[in-house]
Amino acid sequence: MSATVAETFGLSRTFGAKTAVDKVDLTIQKGTVYGLLGPNGSGKTTAMRMLTGLLRPSGGHAVVLGTRLPGNPEPLKRRIGYMTQGFTHYRDLTVTENLHFVADIHDFSRSEKRQRINELLEIYDLDAQANMLAGAMSGGQRQRLALAATVLHGPELLFLDEPTSAVDPETRRNFWEQLFDLVEAGTTIIVSTHLMDEAERCHRIAILDHGQKRADGTPHDLMEQVAGRVFEVSGTNLRPISRTLANGADILSVSQIGARLRVLVSKTAENPQAAVEVALRGISDTISQPTRPNLEDVFVLATRNPVR
């Protein structure tokens, strides 16, 4: 069994009358990528800030790398890295100057600083931009700089808040390869995202909605739990068919994907196939067949009205 790196027990946070995180229990194992999946306002960033010791919980507690929170978070500072959603480094400093600044914060000696910065410039393909102002860099280049600065001191646990929300698919793919290189070297990563394809890359995810944990598991296991409830419907004139299906008693969601409709059937339906056929009764020239669930289906089933 892997060692537990972070664990929460009824972790909660309120802001006035608003509950941002509501009694959330998480267990994060060493050497994994753990995803917090949810829409904006679901509590992902608030949970992450409590786990880094930047925000005090209103209720419950967490244990992160052996440090109990709330409590004294100082022991954590040298052992974690936190990459925020926005670019927070100095745009009027060069790449090297930004990295020197971070190294000074962590009390690197002159020789250690030079060696580590040269190493990071090579790892994150920033050699050509070493003397470029951060403000003149592309979004992907700034992202690589932010990651290099975050891991400069070799953190055991890395927090990434929506790290790829503003970059193109190729940059995102390359970024994730770099994350798995870090995991291979022993780093544990907690990443927040609202992107389904990104969450599917994680070893394990927790789905958050309105501050509550709605599901928790490996992407594969969560998708298997939805098996048999997702159907593709083809036919002519899909828009009225879509509206008819959406009104079905046990139909949870209908979305058009190109020339087909993707239909998700509620947990309350004992016979999902029959639920689709009943909803399509009277509509000719339609074909429905089961299809493989994806993470979006898991998310919809976990977060929509529980009675359905």
Beta bridge partners of 18: 15
| pLDDT value of position 268 | 87
Q: What is the pLDDT of residues 95-142, one digit of tens each?
A: 999 999 999 999 999 999 999 999 999 999 999 999 999 999 988 889
Question: How many angstroms separate the CA atoms of 128 and 69, rounded?
Answer: 42
Question: How many angstroms separate the CA atoms of 265 and 6, rounded?
Answer: 35
The pTM (predicted TM-score) of the whole model is 0.90
Residue range(s) in the chain whose domain bears CATH number 3.40.50.300: 4-218
Topology adopted by domain 228-291: Alpha-Beta Plaits (3.30.70)
Q: 20: buried, middle or exposed (CB in 10 Å: 19+, 13-18, 0-12)?
A: buried
Instruction: In the chain, count H helices and then E strands.
Output: 10, 14
DSSP code of 94?
A: B
Give the model's confidence band at 307: pLDDT under 50 very low, under 70 low, under 90 confident, else very high. very low
| pLDDT value of position 305 | 53
- Average predicted confidence (pLDDT) for the chain: 92
Residue range(s) in the chain whose domain bears CATH number 3.30.70.2070: 228-291
What backbone torsions phi and psi does residue 245 show, to the nearest 5 degrees? -60, -40
The crossing angle, in degrees rounded to 10, of helices 139-151 and 110-123 is 140
Q: What is the pLDDT of residues 58-77, one digit of tens each?
A: 999 999 999 999 998 888 98
Among residues 198, 199, 216, which one has the least CA distance to residue 207?
A: 216
How far CA 111 is from CA of 41, 106, 118, 127, in Å, comes to 44, 14, 11, 19
Question: How many angstroms separate the CA atoms of 119 and 114, rounded?
Answer: 9
Question: Is CATH 3.40.50.300 the right assignment for the domain spanning 4-218?
Answer: yes
